[in-house]
Chain A
Amino acid sequence: MNEMETMDSPVITSLHQGDENEMQSENDLDSITEVEDLVTLPRIERGKERKLLDLPSEDNLNPNHLPVDIQKDDAVVFDASETVNTSEDNAHEDSGEFVVAMLARGTLEEQGVCTKRISSPLSETPLEASSHWDEDVTAESWRQHRKHVFVLSEAGKPIYSRYGSEEALSSTMGVMMALVSFIQSGDNVIRSVYSDEHTVVFMQQGPLVLVSVSSTHQSEQQLRNELLYVYNQIVSMLTQASITRIFEHKKNYDLRRLLAGSEKILDGLLNLVDFDPSFLLSAVHCLPIASSFRDSLSQILQKAITPNLVFSILIAKNQLLTIAQERMVIEDAKLDPADLHLLLNLIGASSAFQAGEIWTPICLPSFNPDCYFYAYISYLDPPECTVCLLLLSTDNEAFYAVAECKRKIEEAMQAQNALTSIAKAQSYSVSQVGVSDLRHFMYKPFDVPDNHHQLTQFTSPEMEAPYDSEEEKMRLLDLYRDVHGRIHNTARPLKLIYHVAARETLLAWVTTKFELYTCFSPLVTKSYAINAITKLLRWVKKEEDRLFIRYPPKYSTTPNASKS
């Protein structure tokens, strides 16, 4: 790794210096951070890049090296495109030519890189496959999607595209793979490409390459996290071990064979990622209910156990009611919010028609990417199907035993008339906080008792007017994402942001105890906002028993709970 870095450093240094100079001459105040975003080179921490800038390394740069490398890379890249061509029966005839054209452009790009910022042609590669998309009636609308996500194999085979059919996109994906291998052959990894309108983020996970092409102005880190969710959702269906095994066995394998019928799960995930801040905050949203009621639900779960049961999860309206966990298992590892998000998405995308009880293997990638749990999923309130019970076992034969647990839970809940109470439970209005001009907030505490043994949670009121339409909701979430991205900027993290926008004022604050994002009406003053936050924090403190799962219940099933 060190060798690679020293080899690469001259190039990078020159890149940055070139960019920096140009940017500064444009008097762009944010130049340094932007430059870092423009060319984000792989395997090198940003901190290190910065240090490299100070090195007198220009002497090391041999300009002759670059073209030679590119020649070599050309060959490699062309191979990749050929693979695509030959392996896809219905690949477009001109895709090979297309790839070559793209490469030529890419080569120019590389050569010009020292004096010029990497600009749009490269970044728009996936969208520039116009020769094919012109044939597609939906081409224009296809291009205008906010965020594209592509998954392909190292051989350049399409695995998933958020929009459009993978077959039609095989050459586009071939180009993506070409870019990846082009940079790879220089012992480097492509991470992202920026243009005025789009951010292209590449992520390689084992034999899979994931690409996000986004016009949302999200931070690279956020897009990367989203790609990781996509990868993990695939792992949740197949396990990492089997993906690796498959591609070791056959590099050219068409993974869509195994994912056939699961596209909806990935589509659903990407929609959730766009609309549900849980993903941004990596935290779980609980349905607010009286703590005594939550405790009684927890006790019901705690009592209905069977050997090898490890998690019992009760969900209503896509929010968590309570979760009981096997004691031994938590000592091993905890259930990551990301895993729960994947589970919730899976439930949403599966056709649980009313009376059905689902039994399916599922892998929790953050927990253990290589093994399966067996999930029992059943709705407790057919035909509405809003209250869902999820029981995870390590035993694939345990269906009937686990189904028996469900019946116990159902009976106990009936005895307490719990379903009626759950139906009444709902998210709260921001007006309950009693702070005028506060329109919305997201609060994620780090000081919940027993925190590292349980899920990270956050609380947030309903999005009400003016954020009640789909567009406005998205606009607020985009603002949150923007502020979140700046707070968590790895190069220049911030603790507090006060952001006055045209139609609202945002205040975000991160401390060791919590992370808070607030949205006020546009005319509040800074001191008012700070004051309001104090009030808000006091309110949350007062309500926390209702808003959060404070002490997650545990149970012991068997000491021999074996992970299959």
Chain B
Amino acid sequence: MKMSLRELKVCLLGDTGVGKSSIVCRFVEDSFDPNINPTIGASFMTKTVQYQNELHKFLIWDTAGQERFRALAPMYYRGSAAAIIVYDITKEESFLTLKNWVKELHQHGPSNIVVAIAGDKCDVSDAREVLEKDAKDYADSIHAIFVETSAKNAININEIFTEISQKIPLLERSETGVRGLKLRREQSDLTRERTCC
């Protein structure tokens, strides 16, 4: 029996230069480029991971943080199952931008969207401007997933997506009626993907 496949549209939002593309790059390709160029418009990528007895295919929209692309954001978060809003723990301003994104999502985003907050660049906590506790409190107040991440050192990157998988409403799971039957063909791939976390 085939393992059920769920497509989850996820968009990344946040200020320019906070590390959205790096997070996606780490998640999808497990690589990191310190001199990555800024995204133009938005970049679309997919990655399938196993979550319990389902395959979750993440359709990831990595949006450009630059202000000139801001008006396009609704195109990407519309219909999204989850939004990962990224800020840079070394830039207070990026945390303020994050709050604006949360506001915008509440006003215009899908009502049941899962929000995850990622405080990136936790590898350079010497230059920290945003306290982890403050961010965590804020995330709790809006019922959002919260992690501090480092795309550079691969910290908590896969975990965000796993937490999103967990938090996604279980709508279709009952419909599939699949319990614990796994597809052998993809097993090796999946274990490899999972060991990299």
The one of A238, A346, A358, A403 in contact with B43, judged by C-beta atoms closer than 8 angstroms, is: A358
Task: Report A385 CB to chain B, min CB distance, Å.
Answer: 12
Tell me, yes or no, whether A356 is within 8 Å of chain B by CB.
Answer: yes
| A259: contacting residue among B17, B65, B68, CB under 8 A | B68
A357 B43 Cβ-Cβ under 8 A:
yes
Tally A-B pairs: CB < 8 A.
Answer: 81
Cross-chain contact B41 with A261 (CB below 8 angstroms): no
- CB B161 to nearest CB in A, in angstroms, measures 16
Expressed in whole angstroms, the Cα–Cα distance for A541 and B47 within the complex equals 50
Whether the pair A355, B38 counts as a contact (CB closer than 8 A) is: no
Within 8 A of A (CB), among B30-66: 31, 33, 36-46, 62, 64-66
Interface centre among B25, B33, B36, B65, by most chain A C-beta atoms within 10 angstroms, is B25
CA distance A346 to B64 in the complex (A): 14
Select which of A258, A264, A349, A359 is within 8 A of B42 by beta carbon.
A359
CB distance from A245 to the nearest CB of B (A): 13
Interface residues of A in 369-384 (CB under 8 A from B): 375
Task: Establish whether residues A357 and B29, one from each chain, have CB atoms under 8 Å apart when the complex forms.
Answer: no
- Cβ of B67 within 8 Å of any chain A Cβ, yes or no, is yes
B75 at the interface (CB under 8 A from A): yes
* Residue from B16, B21, B42 within 8 A of A353 (CB atoms): B21
In-complex Cβ contact of A359 among B16, B21, B44, B46 (8 A): B44
Task: Judge if A18 is at the interface, Cβ distance under 8 Å.
Answer: no
Tell me which of A264, A361, A362 has the highest count of chain B C-beta atoms within 10 A of its own C-beta: A361
- Bound Cα distance A353, B27 (Å): 13
The smallest beta-carbon distance between B44 and chain A, in angstroms, is: 4
Residues of A244-289 contacting chain B, CB below 8 A: 257-262, 264-265
Whether A446 is near chain B, meaning CB under 8 Å from some CB there, is no
Report the count of interface residues on A (CB-CB < 8 A). 30
Contact A355–B37 (Cβ < 8 Å): no
Say whether A351 contacts B44, CB under 8 Å: no
Q: Does A108 contact B (CB under 8 A)?
A: no
Report the bound CA distance from A238 to B66 in whole Å.
12
If A349-B37, A397-B75 touch, whether A356 touches B44 (CB-CB below 8 Å) is yes
Residue of B nearest to A396 (CB): B75
Q: Is B72 in the interface zone, CB < 8 Å from A?
A: yes
Contacts of A359 in B (CB 8 A): 41-44
Residues of B near A375 (CB, < 8 A) are 41
Residue A352 interfacial (CB < 8 Å): yes
CA distance A361 to B71 in the complex (A): 11
- Asked whether, in the complex, the Cβ of A355 is within 8 Å of the Cβ of B39, the reply is no
Q: Is the CB of A260 within 8 A of B45?
A: no
Q: Are A356 and B16 in contact (CB under 8 A)?
A: no
A342 interface residue (CB < 8 Å to B): no
Q: How far is the CA of A350 from the CA of B41 in the complex (A)?
A: 10
> Is B29 in contact with A351, judged by CB distance below 8 angstroms?
no
Which residues in window 93-112 of B have CB below 8 A to A?
none
Q: How far, in Å, is B189 (CB) from chain A's closest CB?
A: 15
> Is A399 interfacial (CB 8 A cutoff)?
yes
Residue A557 lies at the interface, judged by CB distance under 8 Å to chain B: no
What residues of chain B lie closer than 8 Å to A261, measured between beta carbons?
16-17, 38, 64-66
- Kindly identify which residue among B28, B31, B44, B67 contacts A357, using a CB–CB cutoff of 8 Å: B44
Contact (Cβ within 8 A) B37 A350: yes
User: Smallest Cβ distance from B34 to chain A, in angstroms?
Assistant: 12
| 28 A–B contacts, CB within 8 A, in A order | A238-B68, A258-B68, A259-B66, A261-B65, A261-B66, A262-B38, A265-B40, A346-B40, A349-B37, A350-B38, A351-B33, A351-B37, A353-B21, A353-B36, A355-B29, A355-B45, A356-B45, A358-B39, A358-B41, A358-B43, A358-B44, A359-B41, A360-B42, A361-B72, A375-B41, A397-B75, A399-B44, A403-B44
Residue ranges of B at the interface with A (Cβ–Cβ < 8 Å): 16-17, 21, 25, 28-29, 31, 33, 36-46, 62, 64-69, 72, 75
Q: Which A residues lie at the B interface, using CB under 8 A?
A: 237-238, 257-262, 264-265, 346, 349-362, 375, 396-397, 399, 403
